[in-house]
Amino acid sequence: MKRTLLPILILTSVVAFAQETKQDTTKLNEIIISENRLQTPFSKQARNIQLITKEQIAQLPVKSINEVLSYIAGVDVRQRGPFGTQADISIDGGSFEQTLILLNGVKISDVQTAHHSMNIPVPLSAIERIEVLKGPAARIYGINALTGAINIVTKTAKQSSINVNLQAGSSFEDKALGDGSGIYGGASAQLALNMAGKNGRHLVGFGVTDYNGQRYNSSTYDHKFFYQGNIDFDEKNKLNLMGGYLHNAFGASGYYAAPGDKEAFEIVETALFAVGSSHQLSNNFSIRPRISARHNWDDYRYFRNDLTRARSLHKTAVWSAEINSTLHSTIGDFGFGLESRSENIESTNIGDRERYNHGAYMEYKTEAVKNLLLNVGTYVNYNTDYGWQAFPGIDVAYLFTPKWKLAFNVGSSQRIPSFTDLYLNQRPGNIGNPDLRSENAWQYELSLQYKYEGLQVQGGYFYRNISNFIDWIRNSSAVPYQPQNFGNNKVQGLNIGLGHKVNFNSKSSLKYDLSYNYLHAGEMDYATNVTSKYVVENLKHQALMRLVYAYTDWQFTLGNRWIERALKNPYLITDLRLQYGKQQWNVYTEVTNLFNKDYLEVAAVPLPKRWFAIGANYRFTL
C-alpha cells in the first residue's frame, strides 16, 4: 500500500501548483441532477452526489456499467461474472439489497433478488452520465433506497449521428480442462443511433457481448436493445418514451452454491418500458405523469445439461404509475406527488406472490437566506405487507464563499425484504424467512467541499444506524443459509477526495481523481459458530485513482483500485488504456489487471487475471 500511494502523493504535490482550467468544472456545475424532482443544478446540491460523465467513461479501460461503477468513490462492486455478466452493487458499507437502481429516473431494481438489478439493457455508448446519490434516499425515491441510489442517464443528442464501438480481447491463456479448446477470449460490439429533429430526439442502442470464459463454465453471451424518445409538442408539453430488452446467458459455476454448482448455468431476460410526459400548466406550476413496467425472467439450471432436476424458474412483473409536480413561489420551490406500484412473482421455488406499494411525497427548497441552500421533505409510504411508514429528511448547505461549501443532511429510509429473502426454498443451499421485518435506518452526514476552477477537494463523515438489519447466516456447512433480523447495524464512514485538471500547454493536459473511503461497522450479535454473508463481504478500505494524460491526439489512462474487505486479503488492481484518434474516430488498446493478481469480489468466484483488448470507435454525423 505504501509503495502504491508514494507516487500518487508525489504527483499530487507537483501538480497542485500547476495551471488550472475552468472548462471541466463549469460544464459539471451546469448539469441538472435528476435525483431531485425539483431539478437542482449540481453546483447547488446539499447532498453527497458522485458523477461520472460520458467523457470520463470514454477514457476508462472498462467494458460494462459494472466496471464503470467500480471507479466511483464509495460504490462497492462485487462481480460474480466479468464483462457485465452479474454484479452486486452496494454503497458506503451497505448490502447490495439496500441500493436502489434507476434508469432515467425509473426504478428498475429487481424484486426477486437484487442479484438481477444490474440487468440494464443500455450499451455504454448510449450513456450520458451516472449519478450516485449516497445516503438515505427514501425521502426522494421511497422504499429500498436505504443507503443510496444510482441513476443511469442516457444521451439526448442535438445532432443526428451513428456511433460504433468494436472491441476484442483475450488473456492469451489456454482454457480450463474440459471446457473446450483454445484460449480465453471474446468480443463485443455496440451501436448508438441518434436522430435529432426540430420537435423530437430519438436514441436507439444495440449491444452484443460474447466471451468464452476465463475459467471452467464461465462463458457469457448477451445482447441488448434500447430506445429512448423525446417529442416536443410545443414549448409547454413534451412526451418521453423508453424501452429496452436484455438477454443474458452465462455459466454460473460457483455463483451461488459452491462447490456443488460447478455445472450451473443461468439465463436472464429483462424487458422494460416507460411512458411519461411533462406539462407546464402555468409559469409557476408543472406536472409530470409517468407509467412504467419491468419484467424479468430468470432460468437457473443447477445442472446445465439436465433440465429435469434442480431447475429454478422465476418470472417477475412490476408496474408503476406516478405523478410529480413542481410549484415555484416567492418563498421557494415545492415538489409533491403520488406513486403506486404492484410487484408480482411466479416461481418454482418461491411460489406465486404479490404485494402493492403506495407512496406520497412533499419537499420544499429555498435559497431565501443568503448563501444558504435548504431542502426539506418527507415521503409517506404504505405497503400491503409492512404497513405505513414515513421518511423525513433535511439537507442544508452553507456557502462561505463561492469556493467553500459546508453541507449537513439527515434522513431516514427503509428496505423491504425481497421475495427471495422471504420465501426462497432452495435446499440444501438457501431458504427464506417469511417472518422477516423490514430494515429501517437513520443516517447523519457532514461534508466540506472546496472548488476553484479545475481543482476540487472534498471530505465527509457519516453515521448510519440500521435497525432490524437482515443478514443471511448459517450455523454450519450442513445447514442452509437463511436470512435473519439482527438488531442494529451501526456503520461510520470517512471519505476524502481530490480532483484536478492541469493544462501544461496547448498540446498536453493531465486530469486526475483520487479518493479514499474508510468504513467501520459495529459488532453484530452473532453466535461463535455462525457464518455470515454480510461480515465476509463488508467493505473496510477503498482507495481509487484515475489519471488521464493527453498529448495532441494521444491519450493515456491509468486506473488503480485498492480494496480491503473485512475477512479477506486486500488487493490492488491496475488498469491501463492507450488511445489515438481524431474527433470522428479513435483506436485504443487496454490491459486490465496489469499485474495478474488473483482476487475475489464475492463468493468463490475468481475474476479474470491479466486481460488484453483492442478496440475502435467511429462516429458518423448524419
The reported pLDDT for the residue numbered 325 is: 93
Domain residue extents for the chain: 2-621
Q: How far is residue 613 CA from its own chain's centroid?
A: 24
- For residues 475-495, give the mean pLDDT: 86
Which has the higher per-residue pLDDT, 417 or 476?
A: 417
- For residues 94-103, give the mean pLDDT: 92
pLDDT of 203 strictly over 90: yes
Contacts of 110 (CB under 8 A, 6+ apart): 116, 117, 119, 294, 296, 316, 418
Instruction: Identify the weakest region by mean pLDDT among 43-52, 208-217, 294-303.
Output: 43-52
Cell representation of residue 353: 406472490
Q: Tens digits of per-residue pLDDT, 128-139? A: 999 998 988 888
DSSP 403: S
Element (H, E) at 559: strand 554-565
DSSP β-ladder status, 99-103 and 148-154 = parallel
The reported pLDDT for the residue numbered 528 is: 66
Q: Cα–Cα distance between 323 and 339 in angstroms, integer?
A: 7
Q: How far is residue 77 CA from its own chain's centroid?
A: 8
> SS in 3 state form for 157-190?
CCCCEEEEEEEEEEEEEECCCCCCCCEEEEEEEE
Cell representation of residue 525: 450479535
pLDDT of 13 strictly over 70: no
* Torsion sign, CA atoms 176, 179, 181, 183: negative
Q: How far is residue 609 CA from its own chain's centroid?
A: 23
Q: Mean pLDDT score of the chain, rounded to an integer? A: 88
Question: Residue 521 pairs with which residues in a beta bridge?
Answer: 491
pLDDT of 121 strictly over 90: yes
- For residues 476-490, give the mean pLDDT: 83
Which has the higher per-residue pLDDT, 45 or 508?
A: 508
pLDDT band for 536, please (50, 70, 90 cuts). Answer: low
What is the fold of 2-621?
Answer: Maltoporin; Chain A (2.40.170)
pLDDT band for 533, please (50, 70, 90 cuts). Answer: confident
The reported pLDDT for the residue numbered 303 is: 92
pTM for the whole thing? 0.91
Cβ neighbours, 10 Å, residue 598: 10
Contacts of 381 (CB under 8 A, 6+ apart): 138, 142, 143, 357, 358, 359, 388, 389, 390, 391, 414
Contact 426, 312 (CB under 8 A): yes
pLDDT of 523 strictly over 90: no
Residue whose C-alpha cell is 412526451: 239
ω before 259 within 30° of 0 (cis)? Answer: yes
pLDDT of 483 strictly over 80: yes
> SS in 3 state form for 357-380?
EEEEEEEEEECCCCCEEEEEEEEE
